[in-house]
Amino acid sequence: MSSDICVHSWPCSYYLDLEKRWVPGKLSLMPHSLKFNTDRAGEALVGLPLSSITEIKKETSHFIFSAITILEKGHLKHWFSSLRPSRNVVFNVIEHFWRELLLSQPGATADATSSTMTRGKELTVLMARSQRRLEDTAKVLNHQGEQLDSVMRGLEKMESDLDVADRLLTELESPSWWPFSSKLWKTPIEAKPREGASVAGCEPFGKEGIVIKIPAVISQRTESHTKPGRLTILVSGLEIHDSNSLLLHRFEREDVDDIKVHSPYEVSIRQRFIGKPDVAYRVISAKMPEVIPILEVQFSKKIELLEDALVLRSTGTSSPAERSCSVWHAASGLMGCAEHHEQPTEGWEGRPLQLQRSQMFLSEGEAQELTQILSKLKGLALDAETELERQDEALDGITAAVDRATLTMDKHNRRMRKLT
C-alpha cells in the first residue's frame, strides 16, 4: 500500500510560530505521515512522519480555542486548531494510526538491520500472507459447507414431515369403515432425533467463529461522533465493540445489506430496516487492508468499491501484480535450485537482472522455508477445490430437494382443498 494514499483530511488552522499568526488550510493523514497545506497557495507547511512524533495531546490556545498539539523529536511543537468536524474526531483517528505504527515498528527495525536478506524476507512475508489469506478463506468455506449441510438436514426433516402429512391426508380421504386407517398415524422413529442433529450441526466453526480482530475508530451515522473500538470478523457475521470490549452491534451475515469501501483504510457497513432508521457504522483502521480481502470473500455480492477505492486499486495493482509474479517465478526457480543443488543454466541470460540478484541474496534456509510454505499453499488450494466441488454437489442436491418439496406441498394443498 503506497504511503501517498490520503487516509483522511480535515479543514483546520495551523499556528506559525515565527509570524505569530494562524494559517487556514487542510490537515491530511497519510498511512505513515502528516501533512498540512495552506488554502491559498496550497503550500505544504508541515510534513512530518508519524514515527517522529513523541506525543499527541488535546490542548487549548489562549485558554479558549480547542486545539491538538503534536510534539516532534527535537521538542518541536505543532499547533492545529479550528478542526472540523470536531477535535475529538481528528484526535482519535491520528492517535489510532500513530499507535498502530509504533506497535509495528519493532518488526520494521528488525527488517532494516538485515539489508542483505531483504529479498528473501520479502518472499517469505509474501508467501506467509498468502497462506494466511487462504487459511481465512478455508475457514469461511468450511462454515459455508456446514450451513449447506444444515440446510440439507432441514430439507430431509421437511420431507419426513410431508410424509406424515401425506399419511394424515390419506386417512382423512379414506372412508370411516376402512380397517387400516389407524396404522397410518405411525411415524418413523428416526424423524425426531434428526432435529437434535441439525441443531448440533449449526455450531460455529472454531472459538466463536472468529476470523480476525482489528483495532479501529468507530462512528455511527455521522462522522462528528467517533470513538476507538474494535472490528471483529466472524464466519457468521460482523461485530463492533467499543474500547471497553462492550458489544455495540452485531451484524449477522444475512442481515448485512451493503458494505462500501471508501478507501483502503475506511469502510461503512449498513443494515436496512422498514419503519425505523437503518443501522450504519463507519470504520477506519490502519489494518483495514488486511480485512478488505476477507470481506470480499464473505460479502462478495454486497461489497461495493467506491471511486476512491477503485482508483487506488487500479493504480496500486499493476506494480504489486508484477512484483508478485516476479517473486513467484523467483521462488519457483529457487525451489528448483534447492532441490538440485545447482543453478539452472538454460535461459539464464534472458532473465531480469533483479531476479538474478534476488537468487544470489537468498540462503538455503530461506529456500527451504519457502518450499514448506509453497507446499502448504498447494495443500490448502487442493482442499479448497475439493470443498468447493462438494458444495456444488450439495447445492445440486438442495435444489432437487426443494423442487420435490414444492411439488409435494402443491399436491397436498390440492388434496386439502378437495376435503374442505
Helix (H) or strand (E) holding 44: strand 44-49
Rounded to an integer, the average pLDDT of 171-180 is 66
C-alpha cell at 310: 477503485
pLDDT (tens digit per residue) in 330-385: 444 444 444 444 444 444 444 444 444 444 556 777 777 778 888 888 888 888 88
pLDDT value, residue 199: 38
Chain region(s) in the chain for CATH 2.30.29.30: 8-104, 210-309
Contact present, 226 and 240 (Cβ < 8 Å): no
pLDDT (tens digit per residue) in 59-69: 886 656 788 99
pLDDT value, residue 301: 86
**Cα(346)–Cα(335) distance, integer angstroms:** 16
SS3 51: helix
On the question of pLDDT at 21 being above 80, the answer is yes
Nearest to 252 by CA among 283, 293, 209: 209
pTM of the complete model: 0.55
| CATH class of the domain whose range is 8-104 | mainly beta
pLDDT (tens digit per residue) in 380-410: 888 888 888 888 888 888 888 898 889 988 8
- The number of beta carbons lying within 10 Å of the beta carbon of residue 53 is 20
pLDDT value, residue 318: 42
Assigned CATH topology for domain 210-309: PH-domain like (2.30.29)
Rounded to an integer, the average pLDDT of 161-185 is 70
- 172 or 84: which carries more pLDDT confidence? 84
pLDDT value, residue 315: 47
Residue 216 backbone phi and psi in degrees, to 5? -155, 170
